[in-house]
Amino acid sequence: MRILAVDPGQKNIGLALSDETATIANPLTIIKHIRREIDAAQVATIATEKDAELIVIGQSLDENGKPNFEGRRSARFAKALRTQTDLPIKLWDESYSTQYARQARIQMGVSRKKRSGHLDDIAATVILQSYLDAHRD
C-alpha cells in the first residue's frame, strides 16, 4: 500500500511517497502554494497518479498536544482535500520535521550553500517515515 504524505506550508507543499510495502518514505516533489482548493486538487491528482491508498498530512501541535496556528491550517487543508478525493486522510504530528530534515541534509554531507534550498519534500519524508514507523505490523 502506497501512502502519500503532505507537508503543507505557506509558500510550498512538500510531498513524499512510501514504497509499495509502506516501509520506506521517499521525497516526491514540491508544489507551489497557490490557493487551498487548487493545492488540494493538485495533491489529489498526484495521489491518484501514484496509486496512493492513504494521504497523511503533517499537523503541528503545541506543547499540550493541541493544533497550533499552522496545525489548524493543516486541518483546513485536510478538509479541502476531502472534497477532492475519497482516499482516507489522516493528520499526523509533524513536530520538528523541518529541523529533522535540516539535520538529515547535514548528516548527508550537503554543503552549507546547497542546504539553503527548500526542505519541504524532505520534511514530508520525515513525517511519512514517522507515520510508517509508528504503524508497523
C-alpha cell at 122: 524532505
- Per CATH, the number for 2-134 is 3.30.420.140
Q: What share of the chain is helix, strand, coil (3-state, %, to 5)?
A: 40, 25, 30
pLDDT digits (tens, 9 = 90+) for 79-96: 999 999 999 999 999 865
Q: What is the DSSP letter of 118?
A: -
List, in sequence order, every beta strand (DSSP E) within the chain: 2-8, 12-18, 25-32, 52-59, 89-93
**pTM exceeding 0.75:** yes
pLDDT digits (tens, 9 = 90+) for 36-72: 999 999 999 999 999 999 999 999 988 898 999 999 9
Q: How far apart are CA 118 and CA 124, in angstroms?
A: 12
121 pLDDT tier (thresholds 50, 70, 90):
confident
In which residue are the cell numbers 514507523 written?
Answer: 133
CA 100 to each of CA 35, 58, 78, 96, 104: distance values in angstroms, whole numbers, following the listed order: 27, 14, 23, 6, 6
